[in-house]
Structure 1
Amino acid sequence: MVSKAQLPHPLPGAVGLSHLSAYDWEAADGMCGGSPHLHTVCTEAYVVTGGRGAVQTLTSDGYRQTDLQAGSVAWFTPGTVHRMVQRDALKVTVLMQNSGLPEAGDAIFTFPTEILADPERYAAAAALPGKEGPAVEAATRERRDLAIEGYLALREALEAGDNGPFLDFQRAAARLVRSRVPQWQELWQAGALATARRTGRQLAALAAGDPSHLAEAAVHTAEPTRHDGYGMCGRRQEYELSGTTLPYYGE
């Protein structure tokens, strides 16, 4: 279990933060970018800080492409398949709900159905052999291409008016993460829920005329703990803000 003593003071709302430079690797459909995936419990936001690109999304209502440029903000709720597309030096600051949960495997790639049906095959296809080097880059590209294969099949079905394969993918994603939920509940209780409860206590204190919590005012800073890591969508500047040592599976 994650104790409060293990957690630094969280970012506002207990969100996670990273900076991304979207991949410029061309995929099978001629587009450049990252690995399509969804999050099972976390809303994600892109704050575009430079360049141009797009985010392609799939929901049960169909396919959509949203253009991105400096100043754009786009966010998507759990269950939305999203694919970051690179056009011209796209750079994005990513904000993730429930810091700690994405790092613990909240994201699921759009791999072909036969891989999604086998947890061991899925884990092997999603894993990388390390953090840096040519072998890691090659494995990241292979993982991206496998996710694109499944994604294009889902998009084709949706564009034909059939959302069945997409709903099947969401169900497969839920099955893959089910065993992790107890760990996620602990992380949520120690992070996002604890943050909301702290606000509740502060509001109650102010209503009672008690400003004593203001005496605990403090400034917190952080530097990237890893530069140019291989994420799902691009090279990442990562911040370890959740106080955990979980492997990173997120953007």
Structure 2
Amino acid sequence: MEGDSVTLHTDVRYIRYNKRHIEWRFEAEDTGVMRLDVMTGKMIYDFNKKFRDRIQIDNQTGSLTISNIRTTDSGLYQYQVRPRFISESFNVTVYAHLPIPVITRDSTCSSSSSGSSSSESRCSLLCSVLNVSHVTLSWYKENSLLSSISVSDVISSVSLHLEVEYQDNNTYSCVLNNPISNQTKHLDISELCRTHPDIVHCYSFTEAVIRLVVSAVVGVATVAIVVYDITSRRAEKRRRTSQSVPEILGIFTIFNESQNGLNDSESK
């Protein structure tokens, strides 16, 4: 675990008395090779001063102790005894301290829901962790494993989905673990699900398609009704206009004839 002290033991006893020479090597992709001469206890080569004062050598056995170990200290350590050329390797993996998982309501839809009626009676949840590597995230119901996801490389965010009934009284927990430690977060259904009136409606693929088609049909029908109404109003307006023109012309004709009659009377 990060922050611990680790000792890599050799099978050699009393180096000085046997006049043996031991050399430690450390190889990692990001640091190159580190070499230590146990006879003098001095660093021969340390790329980027990686270990600084965190290394101690047992000058009797040649055992190597690394204090306040870091995740970047993971890699292959090897010692070699001369002149007999005895060697042994240690593959060291340093794990970071695990964060406690966070359980939240899931705002996205789950494909496992069979319909709106079932989705309304279920609570959709997410268990998440940030910036982790070499871990497994799991959902448990009582002591039974429900689902899990494992990651090896460093990932910014890992999430695992779960759906439960609102009235479910079982015990659920989300567990984050690596080979040497774990962190557990227990689910409080009453806090996350029952006390929240908002319900995320999730639908199956078939129902989602049906709802989409129905919405599209309703939309098209609405547009058609609006277009028909506008067209009808314009047609009615044009019809009234065409009927009013002859009436106006007739009134104008009668007015002219009456005027002409008056003029003829005055002339006589």
TM score, norm. by length of structure 2: 0.23
By relative contact order (CA 8 Å, sep 6+), the higher-ranking structure is 1
More strand by percentage: 2
- Could you state the TM-score of these two structures normalised by the residue count of structure 1? 0.24
Of Structure 1 and Structure 2, the greater helix share is in 1
